[in-house]
Structure 1
Amino acid sequence: MPWHLLGAGNLGTLAAFYFGQAGLTVRLATRRRLTLPDGTVHDLQLAGDDNAPITHLVLATKAAQSLDALAPLRARLSADTTLIRLQNGLGSLDGLPPPPPHIIEAVANSGAWREALPGGGEHVHLAAENPTLFGDGHATPPDWFAPLACHWPQLHWRTDIHLQQWLKLSVNAIINPLTALHDCDNGALLTNTALHPRLHALAAEVDQVASQLLPDWPGDTAGRALALARATATNTSSMRADVRAGRVTEIDFINGYLLRAATQLALPLPAHSHIIAAIKALPQKR
């Protein structure tokens, strides 16, 4: 059962390592080094692409790159292909041409950063191993999941994956753009009281939308965002890292997705509209 990996950034490298530990073949021509939180270092040399039909694919590109990255592979995908979407945000596969593959959604919460290796490739440093959730709405996971879970710490199958995606989206829609816009660590959202009115406005709009779409929505997005900021006080959000590097951010698939959902409900979201515009006004490489 060969797996193909599309996107070998932080999450893609981590997935390739865990799949390899489980004895599953992952194909991608690249050089990667991974350091785990216990200090152990692993060099990954993944097999090159074989141009064969793709039966199992891990999609770990940035959300904005998804459709363009998948386009050259369309002839190798089918309705029988299993695709794990290992990305931040929602909506990255909207508009994917038929036939759609079988999509398993992933919610990853581990923190990592990377640096270039001398001579090429990248070194990914895993700062914290936190729970990773897989799910497709069915109660029973596929056969390959149990062996993988034996080697992927805190990997869980969730039947409520849609709710879990929204729970992550809700806090990302606050922490990511605020820390990116103000170029601060996550913990500054606790100490800089000048940011609190904007934080609470963003959170209130999230709860307004999510409570109409999800009957079991727990609310208190502001409280959950502040709790995560406290737990990850010294971390740099992925959006802040993208802005610092001049990369296109994932704002369209976090706050932008929320805005599109609100439009379907005829709900105005001025706080999110303003912060989307502010992030997009920052310098980006195209």
Structure 2
Amino acid sequence: MGKLHIVGGGAIGSLIAASSQKNGVPYDCYPRDMKTMPSCAHWQNGQTTALKPAKPSPIVLPKSDVLIIPLKVYQLKAALLQWLPYLTQQPTVVLLHNGMGGLEIARDLLGGDYPLLLATTSHGALKVSTSSGFHVKYTGVGATQIGAPNVNKPSPQSLAALSQIAPQLASAIATLDKALPPVQYQNNILKALWTKLSVNAVINPLTALHNIQNKHIAKPEFEQSRISICNEFTQVADAYGLDFDALSVHENVLSVAKATGENYSSMHQDVAHGRQTEIDAINGYIVDMATKKGIPVPENTLLVERVKALKL
């Protein structure tokens, strides 16, 4: 089993670290700021897991190890540039973030044939500041979907098939599944990422703009906006060969909003704490992709403008 190397000290990365600790998977964390790295995780059953001390700087990774980058899309380029000199053995790199655009950045810096995995997770985690330091709180049980975008088409239909042609990637997925299960292989990971994008495109900006929890998105007052976002998303996605149905997209958004009802979205939290948001990688990505196809997306365009106009 390879070792996991987790970049940053954010909520999801810290959750992976804590779950690795609990499940006996070797790992190290490399936060940007050592002072804000969580020291422990609090699980839903009341148990606490202490994290091992973080590492101050990158090291050269062997091919069998896995570098996980659970950062914002706008942080990805700087992180990859920092790690690039330490990736000479070509260990597996896992991109785990909201929004889109990370694959293009990674391919530009690593090349189109690098052993790369794209992942999206529905696990919920919150980084909490207390008088004794930073902790991470597990707020919602979920699953991680993962795929190999650089493997030659047609994509292997199963993890067993992937292991035949890319055993390094299959081994990395197995390690991640032991660290924070369940990890589900997706032969069409881009479809899964676009599905996640459709949810984020509705929940994130609306919760940020109206200062509300996810559950309030399901209220009738937001129906017209929800439907418009989903219709525009579907037009754009289908223009790129993805097969979505606007009604099903909207139903899925409502389902996720209710299932995560007590949570505050990541964009809400970014705005609340004066941080840069991921609006460019979510609704902004839809606008960019629509522009390339000549598709008008007024609702998404307005949301981008409104979120950027919020005072940080």
State if a TM-score over 0.5 links the two structures: yes
- Establish whether residue 54 from structure 1 lines up as the match of residue 61 from structure 2: yes
| CA distance in structure 1 between the partners assigned to 2:26 and 2:277 by the alignment | 32
| Structure 1 position 109, deviation (Å) | 0.6
Contact 1:19 1:25 in 2 (8 A): yes
Which deviates further from its counterpart, 254-263 or 274-283? 254-263
| Structure 1 position 78, deviation (Å) | 4.1
Match of 1:63 in 2: 73
**Which structure shows the bigger proportion of residues in helix conformation?**
2
- Establish whether residue 77 from structure 1 lines up as the match of residue 87 from structure 2: yes
| CA distance in structure 1 between the partners assigned to 2:216 and 2:3 by the alignment | 44
Q: What's the C-alpha RMSD, in Å, of the aligned pairs? A: 2.1
Match of 2:152 in 1: none
Match of 1:124 in 2: 136
SS of equivalent to 1:57: strand
Match of 1:23 in 2: 25
| Structure 1 position 16, deviation (Å) | 1.6
SS of equivalent to 2:181: coil
| CA distance in structure 1 between the partners assigned to 2:89 and 2:25 by the alignment | 25
**How many residues end up aligned between the 2 structures?**
282
Which amino acid counterpart does residue 5 of structure 2 have in structure 1?
Answer: H
Match of 2:165 in 1: none
Contact 2:290 2:297 in 1 (8 A): yes
Match of 2:213 in 1: 185
Match of 1:99 in 2: 110
Q: Which runs of 5+ in 1 are unaligned?
A: none
- Establish whether residue 113 from structure 1 lines up as the match of residue 126 from structure 2: yes
CA gap of 1:104–1:22, structure 2 versus 1, over 3 A, is farther
Pick the aligned partner of 2:147 from 128, 135, 139.
Answer: 135
SS of equivalent to 2:40: strand
CA gap of 1:161–1:95, structure 2 versus 1, over 3 A, is closer
Contact 1:8 1:61 in 2 (8 A): no
Match of 2:199 in 1: 171
CA gap of 1:31–1:168, structure 2 versus 1, over 3 A, is closer
Match of 2:291 in 1: 263
Which amino acid counterpart does residue 268 of structure 2 have in structure 1?
Answer: R
Structure 2 matches for 1:200-279, cutoff 5 A?
200-220=227-247, 221-279=249-307
Which amino acid counterpart does residue 180 of structure 1 have in structure 2?
Answer: A
**What's the TM-score, normalizing by structure 1?**
0.90
| Structure 1 position 260, deviation (Å) | 1.3
Match of 1:4 in 2: 5
CA gap of 1:47–1:10, structure 2 versus 1, over 3 A, is closer
Which deviates further from its counterpart, 162-171 or 8-17? 8-17
Between the aligned residues of both structures, percent identity stands at 29
| Structure 1 position 244, deviation (Å) | 0.7
| Structure 1 position 208, deviation (Å) | 0.7
| Structure 1 position 131, deviation (Å) | 1.2
Which amino acid counterpart does residue 94 of structure 2 have in structure 1?
Answer: I
Match of 2:14 in 1: 13
SS of equivalent to 1:38: coil
Which amino acid counterpart does residue 99 of structure 1 have in structure 2?
Answer: L
Which amino acid counterpart does residue 275 of structure 2 have in structure 1?
Answer: R
Which amino acid counterpart does residue 8 of structure 2 have in structure 1?
Answer: G
**What's the TM-score, normalizing by structure 2?**
0.83
| Structure 1 position 228, deviation (Å) | 1.5
1:38-74, Cα deviation, whole Å (9 max, x unpaired): 2211110245256432343110122211112332222
Which amino acid counterpart does residue 233 of structure 1 have in structure 2?
Answer: G
| CA distance in structure 2 between the partners assigned to 1:82 and 1:35 by the alignment | 29
SS of equivalent to 1:94: helix
SS of equivalent to 2:221: helix
Q: Which runs of 5+ in 2 are unaligned?
A: 150-154, 157-161, 163-168
